[in-house]
Amino acid sequence: MSINFELLDLRAFLAVFDLGTFHKAAELLNMSQPALSRRIQGLETRLGSHLLERSTRHVAPTAAGRKLEPIARRMLDEFDSSLMSLAGIGERQSGQITIASIPSAATFLLPRVIKQFNRRYPLIRVRVLDRSPQEALDCVMLGEVEFGINMIGSTESEVTFSHLLDDPYVFVCRRDHALARRRKISWHDLSGHRLIRIGRPNSGNRAFLDSALAKANVRLDWFYEVSNLTTALGLVEAGLGASILPRLATPHAPHTVVSVIPIHPLEVSRVIGIIERRKGRLSPAARCFRDILLADWSGLGLKGRDRGRRGARQESR
């Protein structure tokens, strides 16, 4: 059985779904409220289900409406992307997409993806905002960027989180450090060594690491405290202490001064993923960029430590 409807019917439904009122949805689509209502009613009639529950002040989706919402978004996104690819439209498309990312992930993940994206959309600029985890999350939730790359957001109800890779914390020290020749170390091996703590209180990396160590009943001697990774690596290179850093933030191996050593057992890893507004809608170009990113990293099924390393960037924590 075939069901006939127009794409504008789906756009009308999603506009009401996202905005919660017919008035705002009609303004967004530049049509009258009666015309919008007729489209929604026609779609409901053809599907044989009520999609929206109407009241004088608000409109809420029914169970059928909630089921239709992801299907409608996928259909419209695929249609828009297909149109852009026809007759080389993508090659002539101009504009800009903006994403927010924690710096270590941006340095490690984005260069190869941007190169692939530029081949498909050579005239679309890519703007990357280097932000702390909370700042990057705020950028996504406030609609300042199309999506983000982050270590937090999986528990937020207003965003979706798509896993990219696991990023373990490692021990970083000078090559003349007492532990530098170890192939791996345990958390208890770090007892008595001066360590450099990264991040402000309650910041992303610090809060995550402190919580994991507390659950494992591990106490470390934090002698120095700095706000970003670059400063921590500078102190390590100067021989003032060692540090615990995410693997993505460690220097390119091999390094002439610094050693990077896995910590086992009880490996502590942060999860890096893509965060998007749950009720938002990516532009076709941003959707393409996100899909390339997911395919390049998630599709290969490799952890961060199995891929090439990049130099550390300033990542305030």
Give the DSSP per-residue string, 77-144: HHHHHHHHHGGGHHHH--EEEEEEE-HHHHHHHHHHHHHHHHHH-TTEEEEEEE--HHHHHHHHHTTS
Residue 84 phi/psi, 5-degree rounding, is -65, -30
Q: Is residue 83's pLDDT more than 70?
A: no
Among 61-65, 129-133, 173-177, 248-252, where is mean pLDDT lowest?
A: 248-252
Residue 141 phi/psi, 5-degree rounding, is -65, -30
Q: Is residue 91's pLDDT more than 70?
A: no
Considering the domain architecture, whether residues 171 and 242 belong to the same structural domain is answered as yes
Considering the domain architecture, whether residues 266 and 171 belong to the same structural domain is answered as yes
In-domain check, residue 216: yes
Considering the domain architecture, whether residues 294 and 149 belong to the same structural domain is answered as yes
Percent with pLDDT over 90 in the chain = 33
In-domain check, residue 311: no
Q: Which residues contact 21 (CB under 8 A, 6 or more apart)?
A: 58, 59
Considering the domain architecture, whether residues 44 and 72 belong to the same structural domain is answered as yes
* Spatial separation of the C-alpha atoms in residues 70 and 242, rounded to whole Å: 48
Considering the domain architecture, whether residues 159 and 171 belong to the same structural domain is answered as no
Cβ–Cβ < 8 Å for 171, 185:
yes
Cβ–Cβ < 8 Å for 199, 317:
yes
Cβ–Cβ < 8 Å for 209, 215:
no
pLDDT of residue 2: 56
pLDDT band at 157 (very low <50, low <70, confident <90, very high): confident
Provide the domain limits for residue 142. Answer: 94-165+271-306
Q: Is residue 85's pLDDT more than 70?
A: no
The model carries a pTM of 0.65
Considering the domain architecture, whether residues 153 and 297 belong to the same structural domain is answered as yes
DSSP 252: P
Q: Is residue 306's pLDDT more than 60?
A: no
Could you read off the pLDDT of 192-238 as tens digits, one per residue? 899 999 877 666 778 888 888 888 788 888 999 998 888 898 999 99
Q: Which residue has the higher pLDDT, 297 or 183?
A: 183
In-domain check, residue 313: no
pLDDT of residue 309: 37
Considering the domain architecture, whether residues 228 and 300 belong to the same structural domain is answered as no
Q: Is residue 302's pLDDT more than 60?
A: no
Considering the domain architecture, whether residues 111 and 36 belong to the same structural domain is answered as no
In-domain check, residue 2: no
DSSP 251: P
Considering the domain architecture, whether residues 259 and 279 belong to the same structural domain is answered as no
In-domain check, residue 317: no
Burial class of 254 by CB neighbour count within 10 A (0 to 12, 13 to 18, 19+): exposed
pLDDT of residue 17: 87
Q: Is residue 245's pLDDT more than 70?
A: yes
pLDDT of residue 147: 95
In-domain check, residue 224: yes
Kindly list the distances between the CA atom of residue 245 and the CA atoms of 24, 206, 234, 296, in Å, as whole numbers in the listed order.
47, 10, 13, 24
Percent with pLDDT over 70 in the chain = 85
Considering the domain architecture, whether residues 16 and 77 belong to the same structural domain is answered as yes
The number of folded domains in the chain is 3
Instruction: Using alpha carbons only, give the angle 45, 50, 51 rounded to the nearest 5 degrees.
Output: 110
Considering the domain architecture, whether residues 137 and 148 belong to the same structural domain is answered as yes
pLDDT of residue 178: 95
Q: What is the mean pLDDT of the segment spanning 299-313?
A: 40
Considering the domain architecture, whether residues 67 and 209 belong to the same structural domain is answered as no
In-domain check, residue 314: no
Q: What sign does the CA torsion over 208, 168, 129, 293 have?
A: negative
pLDDT of residue 313: 37
Which two structure tokens, joined as six digits, stand for 124? 């679309």
Cβ–Cβ < 8 Å for 3, 49:
no
In-domain check, residue 65: yes
Burial class of 225 by CB neighbour count within 10 A (0 to 12, 13 to 18, 19+): middle
Q: What is the CATH number of the domain that holds 34?
A: 1.10.10.10
Strand 95-101 relative to strand 147-150: parallel, antiparallel, unpaired? parallel
The closest alpha carbon to 204, from 174, 167, 235, belongs to 167
Kindly list the distances between the CA atom of residue 113 and the CA atoms of 108, 152, 276, 287, 292, in Å, as whole numbers in the listed order.
10, 22, 18, 13, 6
pLDDT band at 300 (very low <50, low <70, confident <90, very high): very low
Among 83-92, 110-119, 145-154, 267-276, where is mean pLDDT lowest?
A: 83-92
256-283 burial code (b ≥16 CB/10 A, e <16): eebbbbebeeeebbbbbbbbbbeebebb
Average pLDDT across the chain, whole number = 83
* Spatial separation of the C-alpha atoms in residues 17 and 66, rounded to whole Å: 9
Could you read off the pLDDT of 261-272 as tens digits, one per residue? 999 888 888 999
Q: What is the CATH number of the domain that holds 262?
A: 3.40.190.10
